[in-house]
Amino acid sequence: MKFRSIALAGALALCAAQAQAQDLTVGVTTTGVPFTFVDTGTQAPTGAMVDLAAAIAEDLEMTPNFAVTQFSALIPALQTSKIDVISAGMFATDKRKEVVDFSSPVYSYGDAAFVAADDEGTYQIEDFAGEVIGAQIGTTFADQLQARGIFEEVKLYDSLVDIMRDVQLGRIKAGFGDKPIIAYQIAQNPNLGVKLVEGYTPMGIGEVALAVSKDNPELLDKVNAAIAEMEQSGELAEIFGKYGL
């Protein structure tokens, strides 16, 4: 009986130690290249925000458990405690701040302009006045460009790849889209025949941050502390730099 008591005590101690190493359930999406997406080789979530969440979990001595979720369902999943944190390419907008708490910003970006790889010009948006340019249909960038009314035509495309093709072929002068996505695609495929316009000032800037439930301020404090430490050490920049950001 004494042996069994000792064995039971040991088992309980092991369970307690395992319980302390809690899971951190992280909501991610599959369509936020290069922030969050699924690696076609491993079928596992990957991307800058996935790496960041894993690093934060390690700092908190927790185990990251990634829950692939549709973007529109991320905040409801957080509110219903299905996930502990959102780590995706999500802007910390005023409307979202009404229902969730955001961490310190981890990345900021806006739109980018790209031209043919052999175009040596330096441009701001006004320099494309009178030109035919391209943007993806349904994006805020397309609406903003059309509202300016200074271009010969704002040609709308179904995909960024199609815009890049027409820029490379000289059918349009320039294309516009999400800077991180464009930068990542160019970095992954230098033979696309296009390049980012250096020094271009975007039409607007959004800040990407992690989100936690308003009922969990303790976790928010821990996440912010981890982000601050990684920012100071340079690890934050290294994580995003890995994906061309």
Give tens-digit pLDDT for 143-163. 889 999 999 999 999 888 899
Q: pLDDT confidence of 239, banded at 50, 70, 90? A: very high
Question: If DSSP codes are grouped into helix, strand and coil, which group holds residue 64?
Answer: strand
Can you tell me which residue has the tokens 């920012």?
Answer: 231
Mean pLDDT of 35-57: 93
Q: pLDDT confidence of 21, banded at 50, 70, 90? A: low
Which spans in 21-93 are helix H? 48-59, 74-79
Q: Domain 109-205: what homologous superfamily?
A: Periplasmic binding protein-like II (3.40.190.10)
First to last CA, the chain: 62
Give tens-digit pLDDT for 82-91. 999 999 988 8
Give CA–CA dist 232/25, Å, rounded. 26
The residue extents of the domains of the chain are 14-106+209-241, 109-205
Give the pairing of strands 132-136 and 45-46. Answer: unpaired
Domains 14-106+209-241 and 109-205 in one fold: yes
Question: If DSSP codes are grouped into helix, strand and coil, which group holds residue 94?
Answer: helix
18: pLDDT strictly greater than 80: no
Mean pLDDT of 82-108: 93
226: pLDDT strictly greater than 60: yes
Give CA–CA dist 172/54, Å, rounded. 41
Question: If DSSP codes are grouped into helix, strand and coil, which group holds residue 107?
Answer: strand
Question: If DSSP codes are grouped into helix, strand and coil, which group holds residue 32?
Answer: strand
104: pLDDT strictly greater than 50: yes
Determine the pLDDT at residue 17.
Answer: 41
**Structure token digits, residue 163:** 């815009």
Give CA–CA dist 209/200, Å, rounded. 24
Give CA–CA dist 152/128, Å, rounded. 9
Q: pLDDT confidence of 14, banded at 50, 70, 90? A: very low
Q: pLDDT confidence of 25, banded at 50, 70, 90? A: very high
Mean pLDDT of 15-41: 77
Of 16 and 108, more confident: 108
Give CA–CA dist 135/143, Å, rounded. 9
Mean pLDDT of 74-103: 93
Lowest mean pLDDT among 6-10, 131-135, 145-149, 226-230: 6-10
- What residue type is assigned to position 105 of the chain? P
Length of the chain counted residue by residue: 245
Determine which helix (DSSP H) or strand (DSSP E) holds 206, and give its type and residue range: strand 205-208
Give the pairing of strands 31-32 and 23-28. Answer: unpaired
As a whole number of angstroms, the longest Cα–Cα distance in the chain is 90
Mean pLDDT of 96-104: 96
Question: If DSSP codes are grouped into helix, strand and coil, which group holds residue 26?
Answer: strand
176: pLDDT strictly greater than 50: yes
Contacts 24+ apart (CB under 8 A), 93-100: 93/206, 96/211, 99/75, 99/214, 100/75, 100/211, 100/212, 100/213, 100/214
Give tens-digit pLDDT for 47-67. 999 999 999 999 999 999 999
- Mean pLDDT of the residues in the chain: 89
Q: Which CATH architecture has domain 14-106+209-241?
A: 3-Layer(aba) Sandwich (3.40)
